[in-house]
Amino acid sequence: MGFLDWLHFRSVIMRSVILKCNRYRIASVRQDRRSTCPVSTALEFLGDRWTLLVIRDLMFAGKRHFREFLQSEEAISSNILADRLNSLLESGIITRRDDPTHAQKAVYSLTDKGIDLLPILVAMSTWTQKHYPKTRRPEAVDLISRGPKSLKQLEVQLRRDHGIA
């Protein structure tokens, strides 16, 4: 390993350590100042664009691998994606397991806690389609128009797809 390789390796390690330390410091501050308001608490876990888009892709786009999330039209960067996946793992919204077909890949799945977010994402889609009609996509319009029975069927399918009996 040459000097530049060693230097690159050290900088990657340092970035990882700093990110973990910062996440720990932020989490400890948040715990001390956490509001008892359920909306505020939900926003602490889900309150940024990228987190909800990762959950959306797990639910509606069938994405399960890191590289698949990177291919979404919103163009999330790899470092932000890695951070959001780690946050979702830590909060128990998703799980990660090794991909049996490829030693260097991981498969991400929703947990019960993650699947329970389905009505929230559907409600957000309904609100947005109502107030911003240019955002209507055929698959989103179809999901909303089918009603609650269809939502329950989707939930059952998600549980099956994500290995929850």
The HSE-up count of residue 146 (CA atoms within 13 Å, CB side) is: 13
Residues 33-59: tens digit of each pLDDT: 577 888 888 888 888 889 999 999 999
HEC sequence for 71-138: CCCCCCCHHHHHHHHHHHHHCCCEEEEECCCCCCCEEEEECHHHHCCHHHHHHHHHHHHHHCHHHCCH
Residues 81-126: tens digit of each pLDDT: 999 999 999 999 999 998 888 878 899 999 999 999 999 998 888 8
Tell me what the mean pLDDT of segment 134-145 comes to: 79
**pLDDT attached to residue 85:** 95
Q: Is 1 helix (H, G, I), strand (E, B) or coil?
A: coil
| pLDDT at 7 exceeding the cut of 50 | no
**Which CATH code, of 3.40.50.720, 1.10.10.10, 3.90.340.10, 3.90.1300.10, is assigned to 38-161?**
1.10.10.10
pTM score: 0.74
Asked if 80 contacts 113 with a C-beta cutoff of 8 angstroms, the reply is no
**pLDDT attached to residue 19:** 60
Residues 148-159: tens digit of each pLDDT: 888 888 999 999
